Structure 1
């Protein structure tokens, strides 16, 4: 029974499911596995699919081979084997005084589903067998007592857990809706619903759970998909407005003299795309509103030089800059690159990583606080440490998708907000960019600087190994270097396929590459050991590096132009593309061979797309199409709640519309403070206030 102590609509909606009629404590435990705890959870537990119910007719009115549905009670369940691996399952259903038999061949897993006495709907093509109707492999839906589904409509199909059948789940959802649906408030104003041709929340809930037609179901789904995307975009817009209102950043002006001084330090002329990105960044840096910009660029398009320009602009304005990288290997590489570039400039560089001694760390932090460090480079240790900057002007985060939203807002300086530039070499599909980075302005670099070499990519099978290794050895003898990439550190499977770094090293050192200097690199190694290996590889003391994907981000060895990837079907497109980017860093062309045994069409399509283009933006869209958003871009890591019904891939048009509407709303009411948007504001805060760190708008 419902909890009688609940008095307000919100309290009634939060009634624990166990108090709903027909649920109870035992079923409540099972519903908890689906994260269904309250009446409200059940009401917004949307169907994953729908079953078309044919018009239900009496069994006496069935016609030969004409699709139809009948409803009745199971009288008998018969299962028998007919040979090795073969079986027949028969279920006899009585409709009044007539019978229909459902028959399934070689589907023994269905036998436990049916029990004598169950009420069912059976849909299929009837055929007379003697004097009785029979349906081969019909669709059967089990009806709970008291449930009266109508023919000719859509039957909702919900996600399930052990011990909960479809009929029971439908009944519990409908009970929650019938009992507490009227307690729901409409969060969208009537005029807004009318303008956007959206159903009311009550109408939409009834039509999404009990649709009589595809049109009703689609209209209901549109309402909730749009609302979910609107709430997300409002959260992004509110975050952007709040950042703009702070006006607490230190302005970093860049005039023509500073521009000229910086460009003299850079090793080459910048491309048109790089110059455009720099123009956008300089415009932001010159304001007291903190810059909040994403710089995305394909592998090798020169994002690092753009970030160097921004950091030097910060130093020229007598402020400090911090560069945060996802790994210690990459942080130290950035430090080496910058030290070399700035060897003749008076820029003081510090490196903060987890491998520093306590004494080294204390000295570095003291120097940062005293303003004796202009540019601090490090890993997450930068935000995991109590650190005080004397005058922090700019924070650059490399590989943005490796960090969460809170991490990119964790640095402050004497009451000031620094400017933020976040970078990624993983091109982001447009809808994901709107969904996940909607609070950021975006700069894009597509074109690589002149002189970047091409990479020839091959997808191969085992019989082509000898030919590839002949070519690999030939290039090594010419003085080049290479990588061999494995998906795991240590793996030997039943087929003795060498899938791990350790096995590959042993195999190659005693086989195809025995005449060359080999070493391995993987994430389990201590940071100092990884750095030492990378340095030896950069010095050409190692010919071939056997590694995991630890090398996928940012490791630069211009002479390394060869790469072999084992078990390529295990890698995502973005990973494969990042790995390929390691062998196009110098003056020699690159060569990549991926050995793979794709087991699915999607895996095969992914590999074919990879071999067919080197355009990272094109590959990102292919990857998104094949795999969906998933956690490709760190949605969970950002702490973002999962989308209930919207799909960033499928609902791109609605997302763009929701974004346009959200920014229009906040342009006229930046904090959603008006009575018109009060309920919607509350929904935004409940859903995204914590994960996006939106301040208290009340």
Structure 2
């Protein structure tokens, strides 16, 4: 029998039922290669199943049993289907377990008394019974198929309506037998560093003989995927450097005047990074650089230095902030520094358009004094109004994707692009998400900043905390009180800012308390923020609208209610709103009996203020999630890869991709044809996505 090429369409193959084609299409499985790249989500060792549990557990169990009884009940709009599963070989000591599905009537048609089932799920105690709710399950219908589903390491692939897991397994088994596996392109070059390529990698990843073989196959396929990602990133980086730009040298005169008048000394880290960026802007290629640093490390001053260099070179510079509050704060800070030098500063948000020089046309071309423009990310879509855009600074990069960045870089005026992180990024993610950028890192906080003490406290301690807060307010300090929601939710039992605001007004009387959140109109929001900045309000009750960039040096206390509801990096970012002056500051993380990972992340913040340590801890606690593989990045999915477990593979893949492109920048070598085709295919897909 001749083997079929990997691009062969699934539809029309004799072993692919026509009734399954629509479900395959919904999963994006159109060809034999697509089907073979539909990797298992997990594996079950069905040579020996778990024993039926005696009690509830947070660990999922894989059980095999026989359905002794089923029932279907209605309680108003709720429909419940239950099946009682027993272990035939468990004896008298084995307890049956109840399988339960809510509002899924089709399950009733799939499970009948006497059926043999494999089920997977967490046992819970419900009304003194052990129940697995909405378990994954397979019905073992005949002995003929048992060898594929039983007595082996069994793969569990992603399923869909119309394509249950056991059918997906059977189709993939057919595909392995009928596909020319040697024709599936492998990117990692033979003979390079790392283990030699496994000839049987596709069979080993889908139907391994043991977990050691499975892991070896998985790592090889991950190596291919990661290498492809790094090839794309390295090619993008080389393309930016190669496609030219404009040298924007500046004179340095205006910046010298700014630096002389600063009320603080720049850190060595700031000076080093400023020099890196200045040299990049002065070169005749487009800058595409990531600036990352901890909260309060002085990123904004570094950005201003670059914007002044663009201005001195006869070009406009634009800073894009993620929120209107932050845009307005940058605008006021820049005006305070730049008005004495008569450098025009423009504010452009959805609700405010202001000009420091009093002009009506905020983007009026003035080659002798091009404007510095501050706004929200919406500026990207109003870019036609820029006459000579020389530098774009993007604040809080994670809200601004690669495709938008590419749109900026490809403008005819070839602006330099500087993207800034809100918090440090773990190294593995930096070299993945931002591998197409040069990277600058700020390592030190400016001198003269007070120490921040972080304390994790149960809500029972609130009366003592209020007494402490009143004492600090009487001494002239200011405070933030942060809540996770704006209004009370029926679904989440969490405190809400608007409800608690009245409580704090009474508790802290006569100290003035204000409130700010995302639903307040922009004018009112700015009025409240101005009152807080200028000291007319002692306390600001807020949601995470204050998360990024708000700078009030006299604010030395932050109380975060329901702190376990926030993410670790978000809590660190919020904490960065205090400790901006010379005084000691306190961040109090309140929780109501938090346990497990919720308490663990609060304890991380109590132990360290180092944003890089916190970023690594956050990655370990949460996992990388769907960090890449979305339209935002323009990169392929990670597939079987895991950025934490496989960080060594990503590092090796990056080194190899850079080495190969240094040897063969155009990938013209005959041994690099598959690599070249892969990069070109991704570039076309990215272009189509960008419209």
Pairing 1:295–2:288 present: no
Aligned match of 1:539: 534
Alignment partner of 1:645 out of 620, 640, 647: 640
- What does the per-residue CA deviation read over 1:492-518, in whole Å, with 9 as the maximum and x for residues that have no partner? 4489x6621111112322x32243222
1:230 aligned partner: 227
The structure with more radius of gyration = 1
List per-residue Cα deviations over 1:90-111 (Å, max 9, x = no partner).
3548xxxxxx879852521179
Instruction: Render the CA deviation track for 1:274-325: whole Å, top value 9, x for unaligned.
Output: 1111121122122011111111111111111111211222222232211111
Match of 2:479 in 1: 482
Tell me how far apart the structure 2 counterparts of residues 164 and 414 of structure 1 sit (CA, whole Å): 46
Residue 415 of structure 1 is matched in structure 2 by 412
Q: Distance in 1 between matches of 2:241 and 2:530?
A: 43
2:15 corresponds to 1:21: yes
**Cα distance change, pair 377–89 in 1 and its aligned pair in 2 (3 A):** closer
User: For 1:228, what is the secondary structure of its paired residue?
Assistant: helix
What is the SS of the residue equivalent to 1:149?
Answer: helix
Match of 1:350 in 2: 346
2:666 counterpart residue number:
671
Stretches of structure 1 that go unaligned for 5 or more consecutive residues are 1-6, 57-71, 94-99, 124-138
Q: Which residue of 2 aligns with 1:185?
A: 184
1:606 aligns with 2:601: yes
Tell me which residue corresponds to 1:271: 267
Residues 194/637 of structure 1: CA separation in 2 closer, same or farther (3 Å cut): closer
CA shift digits 1:109-133 (9 cap, x unpaired): 179786567577999xxxxxxxxxx
Residue 168 of structure 2: aligned partner? 169
1:48 paired with 2:41, answer: yes
CA contact (8 A) 2:186 2:224 kept: no
Contact 1:401 1:633 in 2 (8 A): no
**3-state SS of 1:340 partner:** helix
Q: 1:578 aligns with which of 573, 585, 592?
A: 573
Instruction: Tell me what 2:501 maps to.
Output: 505
Deviations 1:433-487 (A, max 9, x none): 0110001111111211111011111111121010001111111122211111111
In structure 2, what is the Cα distance between the partners aligned to 1:143 and 1:50? 17
1:382 matched to 2:379? The reply is: yes
2:555 is the alignment partner of 1:555: no
1:344 Cα deviation (Å)? 1.9
Equivalent pair of 2:346/2:355 in contact (CA under 8 Å): no
Verify: 1:618 aligned to 2:613, yes or no: yes
Name the SS for the 1:654 alignment partner: helix
Describe the shift of the 1:519–1:483 C-alpha distance in structure 2 as closer, same or farther (beyond 3 A): same
145-154 or 462-471, which moves further after superposition?
145-154
SS at match of 1:563: strand
Shift of 1:636: 5.8
Instruction: List aligned pairs for 1:397-476, cutoff 5 A.
Output: 397-411=394-408, 415-476=412-473
2:331 is aligned with 1:338? no
Query: Aligned partners of 1:87 and 1:287: how far apart in 2?
Result: 71
Residue in structure 2 matched with residue 131 of structure 1 by the alignment: none
* 1:359-381 residue CA offsets vs partner (Å, 9 max, x unmatched): 99994454147665331111123
Alignment of 1:105 with 2:95, yes or no, is: yes
Deviations 1:186-232 (A, max 9, x none): 2437x6257543435x6211111121122321221111100110011
Native 8 Å contact 1:350 1:364 kept in 2: no
Given the superposition, is the C-alpha separation of residues 185 and 390 from structure 1 closer, same or farther in structure 2, using an over 3 Å criterion?
A: same
Aligned twin of 2:129: none
Report the counterpart of residue 199 of structure 1 in structure 2.
197
Q: What RMSD, in angstroms, separates the aligned Cα atoms of the two structures?
A: 3.7
* 8 A Cα contact 2:513 2:538, kept in partner: yes
**Alpha-carbon distance in structure 2 between the residues aligned to 1:366 and 1:305:** 24
Distance in 1, Cα, partners of 2:290 & 2:355:
35
User: SS of the residue aligned with 2:384?
Assistant: coil
Task: Give yes or no for the alignment of 1:628 onto 2:628.
Answer: no
Query: Structure 1, residues 660-688: CA drift from partner, whole Å, max 9, x if none?
Result: 01111111222323332222232334346
How far, CA to CA, are the matches of 1:672 and 1:413 in structure 2? 23
Report the CA distance between 1:520 and its aligned residue.
1.4
Residues 144 and 672 of structure 1, relative CA distance in 2, 3 Å threshold: farther
Deviation at 1:268, TM superposition (A): 2.1
Q: Equivalents in 1 of 2:564, 2:314: separation in Å? A: 50
- Any idea what the Cα deviations from partners look like across 1:37-73, whole Å, max 9, x if unmatched? 54433211111222234399xxxxxxxxxxxxxxx9x
Deviations 1:609-658 (A, max 9, x none): 01111111100000001101225699664354432111111110000000
Aligned length: 640
Mapped partners of 2:378, 2:17: distance in 1:
49
1:248 aligns with 2:258: no
What is the match of residue 526 of structure 1? 521
- Residue ranges of structure 2 left out of the alignment (5+ in a row): 50-63, 72-81, 102-107, 121-135
Contact 1:391 1:414 in 2 (8 A): no
1:369–1:389 contact (8 Å) kept in structure 2: no
Which residue number in structure 2 is paired with residue 391 of structure 1?
A: 388
Contact 2:292 2:424 in 1 (8 A): yes
Q: What is the match of residue 159 of structure 2?
A: 160
Give the direction of change, closer, same or farther, for the CA distance of 1:600–1:29 in structure 2 (3 Å limit).
Answer: farther
**Partner secondary structure for residue 109 of structure 1:** strand
Distance 1:116 1:193 in 2: 56
CA 1:372–1:237 in 2, change beyond 3 Å: closer, same or farther? same
SS at match of 2:424: coil
Q: Deviations over 1:316-351 (max 9, x none)?
A: 223221111111111111111111112321311111
Q: Check conservation: 2:228, 2:678, Cα contact below 8 A.
A: yes
Distance 1:368 1:586, change over 3 A: farther
- In 1, Cα distance between the equivalents of 2:173 and 2:641? 22
Q: Which moved more, 1:356-365 or 1:448-457?
A: 356-365
User: 1:598 Cα deviation (Å)?
Assistant: 5.8
Residue aligning to 1:280:
276
**What CA distance in whole angstroms lies between the structure 1 residues aligned with 2:274 and 2:538?**
38
Tell me which moved more, 677-686 or 643-652.
677-686
